[in-house]
Amino acid sequence: MAKPPNIFRILQLSDIHAGILDFHAGYLLDKRFFGRLNQAVMRHRRLTLDRIALFAKLQREREADFTICTGDLTSIGSAREFAHCEELLAEVLDYAGENFAFVPGNHDAYVRQSRPELAEAFQRLNRGRFGLDELPVAFPTGPVEFVLLNAARPCAIWLSTGELSSAAWEKLDYILAQPASTAKARVLVCHFPVCDHQGLPLSWRTKLVGYKRLIAWAEQGRFNAMLTGHVHCPFVQHLGNSSALAIGAGSLTIYQSCAQIDINTQTGEITAEILAL
């Protein structure tokens, strides 16, 4: 069925985890050893990377106007992994062109040593519009104002948490206090959600530190939706007692899921559904 003319359609993919089974002595010194071990023993067998090609087909069939990736492209954030992921995503990126945005996940920001590789990949994937250190940043596209957040930070071996710096929270507060230019809807994009697929808070090991602030801002009507990854099981929930939607695309390669978000260009109404591939 053809897309209605008054709909701006976003397709969201997340958590590909396309690692490479290499190993270097330097991995013995930090968290990368455990990332490689987990990939080799557990995750590698579960990944269905062929779903990326199906997602590219879906972009065309669903006439996507914009494509969002909410992080965890890689396993340990190495330069080779980012290059591998960009090859896998070539058809997706070709279709999207300039209408593509990426925010990093905790696996993309796995260790401090890989920060330069992440920064370079981030700039390439976002078509050079802005650098990683500029986030949070707002940019209007059609009827939408996207606000990209980076809460991915290297953390202890036993943690997969996200955290914004004090300066980032202040900047985000300022952005959300402004009118959303001429956009009909304001959409936050962050790897880390405020809830899991059952609408429950995440554990201390996986949560976004300070997430309750986002719920309060949603209840104040400061944004209309939040697109996230991190939780591999997909979901669509309301943020707290607000009308704003929390949309988790799930893992494209583990749960074979992605999300479609439709925005009415006349009213700004947002509807979302989870798609199975």
Phi, psi of 249 (to 5 degrees): -70, -15
44-84, pLDDT tens digit by residue?
567 789 999 999 999 999 999 999 999 999 988 889 999 99
- β-pairing verdict for 245-248 and 66-69: unpaired
Q: What is the pLDDT at residue 160?
A: 92
Q: What is the pLDDT at residue 50?
A: 93
Per-residue pLDDT of the chain in tens (277 residues, 90 and over written 9)? 689 999 999 999 999 998 776 666 566 556 766 666 666 565 656 778 999 999 999 999 999 999 999 999 998 888 999 999 999 999 999 999 999 999 999 999 988 888 999 999 999 999 999 999 999 999 999 999 999 999 999 988 888 999 999 999 999 999 999 987 778 999 999 999 999 999 999 999 999 999 999 999 999 999 999 999 999 999 999 999 999 999 999 999 999 999 999 999 999 999 999 999 9
Q: What is the pLDDT at residue 146?
A: 97
Q: Which long-range contacts (CB under 8 A, 24 or more apart) does 22-31 make?
A: 22/78, 22/80, 26/113, 27/76, 30/111, 30/113, 31/76, 31/110, 31/111, 31/154, 31/156, 31/157
pTM of the entire structure?
0.94
- 93 alpha-carbon distance from chain centroid: 15
Q: What is the pLDDT at residue 25?
A: 54
Cβ atoms of 187 and 145 closer than 8 Å: yes
**Alpha carbon distance 273, 277 (integer Å):** 13
Q: Tokens for 25?
A: 């002595």
Cα→Cα distances 171→33, 131, 134, Å: 35, 15, 10
- What is the chain written as a DSSP string? -PPPTTEEEEEEE-----------GGGGGSTHHHHHHHIIIIIHHH--TTHHHHHHHHHHHTT-SEEEE-S--SSS--HHHHHHHHHHTHHHHHHHTTSEEE---TTTT-SGGGHHHHHHHHHHHTTTS--GGG-SEEEEETTEEEEE---B----TT---B---HHHHHHHHHHHHS--TT-SEEEEE-SS-SS-TTSPPPPTTT-BTTHHHHHHHHHTTS-SEEEE-SSSS-EEEE-TTSSPEEEE---TTTT-EEEEEEEETTT--EEEEEEE-
Q: What is the pLDDT at residue 260?
A: 98
Reported residue count of the chain is 277
Q: What is the pLDDT at residue 74?
A: 94
CATH (one of 3.60.21.10, 3.30.457.10, 1.10.340.30, 3.30.565.10) for 13-276: 3.60.21.10
CA R_g for the chain:
18
Cβ atoms of 108 and 77 closer than 8 Å: yes
- The structure tokens 């991190």 sit at 230
**Alpha carbon distance 251, 218 (integer Å):** 25
